[in-house]
């Protein structure tokens, strides 16, 4: 009778355990991170009775998680990549809003500035037209400054978010390390710590949202976590700390790394794999600098072209024109960790139409200087401490530096934040040309003046009186004091004199005809330099296109990058959904399946109880016979 009772009791206990496990699955069907559990039953060792082995019931081997490590790792990686794509996409959409306003954005103010210039050419002596141009220029600088400030604010915001993400990684890594310790202890005592395993998987999944990791299971039940570049993050019950630091060679560049035994090991930006940190670093390290450089290049090229032409004119008071905008200059600095701190770098603009939207690095090693354009990796070498490249002149003073020293040139980054007006009064606008030409009434030919403009910022001799006297065969002689110049006239071809001015004539001169060139005294209504300024709207200023077209190119590139980021986000979200679905199909709780198992284990429990009742009845009958 004891055999029947023990079998019945084991069946009852097994059914009860299965019912509890099923009930726990049902209770946690919607609990994030919960993994479905099942009861593994094994038969008790049979006993030999009368030469025959008879069963001794059932035993619960273990309550096991239904878990697939491969699917979990795939889901973790998909989570990291999806979060990286989503983070960058969201930031790029915010970035687009800075440039997408057609009514009040930078592009609109560039157009308004040139429209005001066009209006000034119609009314060069009108104080109202001059004030309107000054106001339009102020709006242009304000919008440029606002756009640059907005980019800097987004960088600061990304830095703060990176700090938060690093803290989240450290908390999750520490939790995994602590759970490793508890899980190893529980497994060592023969227990199956399913809930602890779920907690650890949940912490790893949460960590993967911020930074991609891979897991390596250990024999004691713990897992080691490694970053995408192979750097250990968690080893057993010890976790390394993730932190942010400035680049020793470039204090304006932020690095993320891991402290291992108090040593900071920087992680390459292109080896982060995924996670919100990877998306933030890509946005901060690639997207923002590129846009800042392009916007800064527009500010530099536009202001330099306007300044150069403005200096060739006369203002309303007859004074030489000065800078219209405050001149912008490149920013260059030596790495703080250079061995020879005496070596300094300087940079200047030579030709702003040739500028590239990029930062540059100069490295010195083995007696050779290497200039690298960081936007595309193009390199140039020199044995001397100077470079003339991409419209820049770069020079190192107190050279040579120490081997391994480096220097950074930020030619245009941040220039939009520094754009400002150099003039404050409408009368300072130089709309007039400093020289004027006249034709004596005694001329007998049909020659006429098409254009006369200064070639260089006005010096003492620019407006000195000069005479162009024509001889036989279209020859001419220009005389200004002791300076003379001869040549042959061709209609429509500019004639340049002594680097002072250039004149374009049409028609046919006769021998003895004269053109007089002299100072433009009292030329309040002259608009010739204003026309030259207005023509800059269509001049090839950046990559062979006009300033307005250059800004349209920036907007189009931002739009393309946003679309690309959104497509990447959508693709990664699809991959993540598929990975989570595959994982859930194995480890998730299906209420229909659990309901069927509930009926199955309920019937088993009832049958076991019936078996106990039968054994009791038989036992009672035997006792009654004995009485």
pLDDT surpasses 90 at 61: no
Rounded Cα–Cα distance for residues 480 and 333 (Å): 47
Closest CA to 616 of 95, 3, 208, 5: 5
Query: Which region among 324-333, 353-362, 403-412, 451-460 has the lowest average model confidence (pLDDT)?
Result: 451-460
Chain center to CA of 162: 13
d(Cα 357, Cα 543) in Å, to the nearest integer?
A: 10
* Closest CA relative to residue 148, chosen from 101, 102, 95: 95
Beta bridge partners of 53: 48
Instruction: Grade residue 103 by pLDDT with cuts at 50, 70 and 90.
Output: low
The SS3 assignment for 405 reads coil
Q: What CA–CA distance (Å, rounded) separates 321 from 124?
A: 14
3-state secondary structure of 184: helix
Alpha carbon 55 to chain centroid, angstroms: 70
The continuous run of DSSP H or E covering 495 comes out as strand 495-497
Return the pLDDT at 191. Answer: 80
Report pLDDT digits (tens) over 209-267. 999 999 999 999 999 999 998 999 999 999 999 999 988 777 778 899 999 988 999 99
Q: How far apart are CA 411 and CA 297, in angstroms?
A: 8
Whole-number pLDDT of residue 11: 87
User: Two tokens at 142?
Assistant: 């304000």
**Is 432:124 a contact under the CB 8 Å cutoff?**
yes
Give the phi and the psi of residue 395 in degrees, each rounded to 5.
-140, 140
290 vs 621 pLDDT, higher one:
290
**DSSP conformation letters of 340-374:** -TT-EEEEEES-GGG--S-EEEEEEETTEEEEEET
Looking at residue 51, its pLDDT comes to: 67
Residue 248 carries which DSSP code? S
Mean pLDDT of 37-46: 88
What's the DSSP call for residue 324?
Answer: S
Domain limits of the chain?
2-66+588-626, 72-285+545-580, 331-411, 444-512
Most trustworthy range by pLDDT among 84-88, 227-231, 616-620: 84-88
Q: What is the DSSP letter of 240?
A: P
Beta pairing partners, 64: 38
CA distance 245 to 77: 26
What is the pLDDT of the chain when averaged over all its residues? 91
At residue 328 the predicted structure's pLDDT band, cuts being 50, 70 and 90, is very high
pLDDT of 550 higher than 90: no
- Core vs surface per residue 591-604: b (16+ CB within 10 A) or e: eeebeebbeebeeb
Dihedrals phi, psi of 245, to nearest 5 degrees: -155, 155
Angle at 538 between CA 534 and CA 543, to 5 degrees: 135
- pLDDT at site 599: 92
Average confidence (pLDDT) over 180-191: 90
- What's residue 543's pLDDT? 86
57 to 15, 49, 266, 585: CA distances (angstroms): 12, 15, 60, 33
Q: Average the pLDDT over each of 201-205, 252-256, 359-363 and give the range with the smallest value.
A: 252-256
Q: Average pLDDT of 101-108?
A: 73
pLDDT band at 618 (very low <50, low <70, confident <90, very high): confident
Mean pLDDT on 367-396: 95
How far are the Cα atoms of 297, 357, 624 from residue 541, in angstroms, in the given order?
A: 10, 13, 115
Edge to edge, the sheet with strand 368-373 lists 331-334, 406-410, 359-365, 368-373, 378-382
The answer to whether the bond into 208 is cis (omega within 30° of 0) is no
Listed residue (320, 294, 292, 317) closest to 307, CA to CA: 320
User: How crowded is residue 34: how many other Cβ atoms within 10 Å of its Cβ?
Assistant: 21
Q: Please answer whether residues 385 and 402 qualify as being in contact, where contact means their C-beta atoms are separated by less than 8 angstroms.
A: no
DSSP 3-state helix, strand, coil percentages of the chain (rounded to 5)?
Answer: 45, 25, 30
Q: Which residue has the tokens 């035994």?
A: 261
Q: What percent of the chain has pLDDT over 70?
A: 98
Query: Which pLDDT belongs to residue 76?
Result: 94
37 vs 28: CA distance, rounded Å: 10
> pLDDT digit string (tens) for 435-491?
999 999 999 999 999 999 888 887 667 878 999 999 999 999 999 988 899 999 999
- Distance in angstroms (rounded) separating the CA atoms of residues 511 and 472: 5
pLDDT at residue 400 above 80? Answer: yes
Half-sphere exposure in the Cβ direction for 551 (13 Å, CA): 27
Handedness of CA 173, 175, 178, 183 (dihedral sign): negative
CA 448-452-455 angle, 5° bins: 155
Distance in angstroms (rounded) separating the CA atoms of residues 209 and 34: 18
The confidence score (pLDDT) of residue 627 equals 63
The Cα–Cα gap between 448 and 261 comes to 83
Question: What is the per-residue pLDDT for 432?
Answer: 93
Per-residue pLDDT, averaged over 524-541, amounts to 91
As a residue count, the chain comes to 627
Q: Say how far apart CA 138 and CA 52 lie, in whole Å.
A: 105
The answer to whether 65 and 587 are in contact (CB under 8 A) is: yes
Contact 272, 281 (CB under 8 A): yes
Burial class of 67 by CB neighbour count within 10 A (0 to 12, 13 to 18, 19+): middle
Instruction: For residue 627, count other CB atoms closer than 10 A to its CB.
Output: 4
pLDDT at 332: 94
Torsion sign (Cα): 534, 538, 544, 547: positive
Residue 1, pLDDT > 60, answer no
pLDDT more than 90, % of the chain = 73
Distance of alpha carbon 164 from alpha carbon 152, whole angstroms = 19
Q: What is the mean pLDDT of residues 331-347?
A: 93
pLDDT average, residue stretch 486-503: 93
The strand ranges marked E within 261-358 are: 263-267, 331-334, 344-349
Helices (H) and strands (E) in the chain, counts: 11, 27
> Dihedral sign, CA of 117, 118, 119, 123?
positive
């Amino acid at each position: 009778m004891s055999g029947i009772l023990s079998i019945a009791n084991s069946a009852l206990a097994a059914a009860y355990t299965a019912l509890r496990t099923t009930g726990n699955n049902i209770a946690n069907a919607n609990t994030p991170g919960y993994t479905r559990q099942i009861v593994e039953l094994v038969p008790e060792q049979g006993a030999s009775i009368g030469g025959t082995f008879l069963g001794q019931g059932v035993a619960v081997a273990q309550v096991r998680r239904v878990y697939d490590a491969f699917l979990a790792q795939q889901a973790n990686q998909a989570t990291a990549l999806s979060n990286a794509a989503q983070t960058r996409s969201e930031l790029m959409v915010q970035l687009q809003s800075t440039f997408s306003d057609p009514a009040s954005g930078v592009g609109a103010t560039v157009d308004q500035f040139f429209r005001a210039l066009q209006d000034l050419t119609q009314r060069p002596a009108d104080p109202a037209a001059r004030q309107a141009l000054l106001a339009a220029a102020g709006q242009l600088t304000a919008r440029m400054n606002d756009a640059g400030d907005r980019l800097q604010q987004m960088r600061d915001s990304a830095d703060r978010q990176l700090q938060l993400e690093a803290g989240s990684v450290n908390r999750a890594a520490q939790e995994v390390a602590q759970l490793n310790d508890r899980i190893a202890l529980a497994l060592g005592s023969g227990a199956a710590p399913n809930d602890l395993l779920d907690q650890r998987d949940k912490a790893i999944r949460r960590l993967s949202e911020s930074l991609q990791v891979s897991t390596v299971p250990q024999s004691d039940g713990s897992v080691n976590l490694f970053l995408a570049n192979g750097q250990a993050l968690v080893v057993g019950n010890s976790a390394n700390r993730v932190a942010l630091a400035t680049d020793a060679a470039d204090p304006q560049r932020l690095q993320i790394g891991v402290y291992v035994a108090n040593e900071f090991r920087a992680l390459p930006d292109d080896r982060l794999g995924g996670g919100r940190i990877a998306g933030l670093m890509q946005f901060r390290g690639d997207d923002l600098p590129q846009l800042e450089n392009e916007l800064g290049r527009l500010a530099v090229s536009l202001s330099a072209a306007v300044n150069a032409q403005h200096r060739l004119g006369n203002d309303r008071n007859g004074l030489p024109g000065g800078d219209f905008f405050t001149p912008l200059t490149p920013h260059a600095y030596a790495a703080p960790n250079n061995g020879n701190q005496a070596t300094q770098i300087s940079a200047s603009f030579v030709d702003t139409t040739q500028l590239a939207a990029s930062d540059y690095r100069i490295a010195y090693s083995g007696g050779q200087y290497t200039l690298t354009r960081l936007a595309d990796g193009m390199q140039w070498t020199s044995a001397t401490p100077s470079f003339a490249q991409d419209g820049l002149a770069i020079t190192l003073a107190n050279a040579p530096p120490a081997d391994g020293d480096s220097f950074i040139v930020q030619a245009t980054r941040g220039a939009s934040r520094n754009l400002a007006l150099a003039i404050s009064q409408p009368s300072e606008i130089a709309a007039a040309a400093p020289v004027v030409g006249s034709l004596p009434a005694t001329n007998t030919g049909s020659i006429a003046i098409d254009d006369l403009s200064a070639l260089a910022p006005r010096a003492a001799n620019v407006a000195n009186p000069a005479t162009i006297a024509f001889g036989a065969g279209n020859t001419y002689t220009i005389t200004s004091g002791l300076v003379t110049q001869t040549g042959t006239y061709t209609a429509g071809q500019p004639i340049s004199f002594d680097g002072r001015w250039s004149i374009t004539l049409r028609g046919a001169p006769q021998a003895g005809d004269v053109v007089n060139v002299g100072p433009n005294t009292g030329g309040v209504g002259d608009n010739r330099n204003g026309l030259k300024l207005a023509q800059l709207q269509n001049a090839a200023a950046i990559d062979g296109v006009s300033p307005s077209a250059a800004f349209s190119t920036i907007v189009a590139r931002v739009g393309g990058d946003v679309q690309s980021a959104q497509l990447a986000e959508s693709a990664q979200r699809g991959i993540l959904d598929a990975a989570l679905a595959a994982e859930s199909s194995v480890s998730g709780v299906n209420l229909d399946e659990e309901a069927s198992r509930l009926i199955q284990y309920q019937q088993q429990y009832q049958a076991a109880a019936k078996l106990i009742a039968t054994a009791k009845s038989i036992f009672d009958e035997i006792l009654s016979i004995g009485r």
